[in-house]
Amino acid sequence: MTRPKHLVAAASFCAAAATVTTARTARADAEAWLWVENRVPLARTDRPELGRVDLRVFGDFRANRRSEGLGIVFGRMGPLFFLSDWMFVATTGSVAAIRGPNGQWSHQARAELEPNFFGRIGDFTFNDRNRGEYRVREDAENFFFYRNMLRISYAPVHARWIPYVFDEVLFNVTTREVSENRASVGLGRMVGGSTRIDLGYIFRSRKDPTFVHDHIVNLFFFFDVPPPPPVPGEAPPALPAPGIPNPPPPSPPPDEALPTPPHPAPGAPTTPTGPAPAPESHEDGG
């Protein structure tokens, strides 16, 4: 009689262990993200300081298995102030709809300040994006986040295919802990002078409540609208100072990414030929 009891106990223990293991594994996920960013020119000047002002409009759509489909819809909008040929500052606002485990949607709003440093070293372009954001959530405590993304692209002048890598760390200032890391590798394709399409893979580690790892396919459309042509009879718009992109080169981030165009020769008209700063994102939207 004792042997059957031992067998039953062992079977029960194995079943419980399998259940726990399955539950932990199930938290990791496969996802598909679509980012769309449009930069619309608001102002152009011939000064190195504040040489251009753009309006950023960004959309982020994410599907995953744990949400059984669409899990996040995210939008961001605000001006970008190009303070030099190596820095711009974005002041944006964002709203997000996030689907929880129970299938119910919750909403979130964010205020964001984003210093963004970019440049070129030989055939490589880089972008270092620093974003502070205050998140107001209707279903939980508000949080302040600091996010840093570094993106490096191999983008020779006039290149059409642009491989890239980036890594982004999300630090929850309120709780004083790293909540997420995203490492990505991908390939961009320039279409015309002001549009870029990126296709990449993101390996994400997120705290839930221990760190789990997701595999993400990311498709990103970046549109950098050129300024309108001069009206006949009017003086053409001032050319940018050497080193000021006009329009800027395309390029996450989420809202988000990163290289910079080649510097135009002094007095020569400029056309974007490489990537520029780009966009962003996060598990609760952007």
Q: Can you spell out the DSSP letters for 19-65?
A: HHHHHHHHHS-EEEEEEEEEEEEEEE-SSSTT-EEEEEEEEEEEEET
pLDDT for res 260: 36
Cα–Cα distances in Å, from 207 out to 28, 181, 212, 252? 11, 9, 6, 21
pLDDT for res 29: 87
Bridge partner list, 143:
135
Contact 255, 29 (CB under 8 A): no
CATH for 31-224 is: 2.40.160
pLDDT for res 32: 97
pLDDT for res 161: 97
pLDDT for res 282: 35
Question: What is the mean pLDDT of each successive set of 10 residues along the chain, which is 286 residues long?
Answer: 49 43 57 97 83 95 90 96 94 94 89 97 97 91 96 96 98 95 98 94 92 96 84 54 42 40 41 39 42
Domain ranges of the chain: 31-224
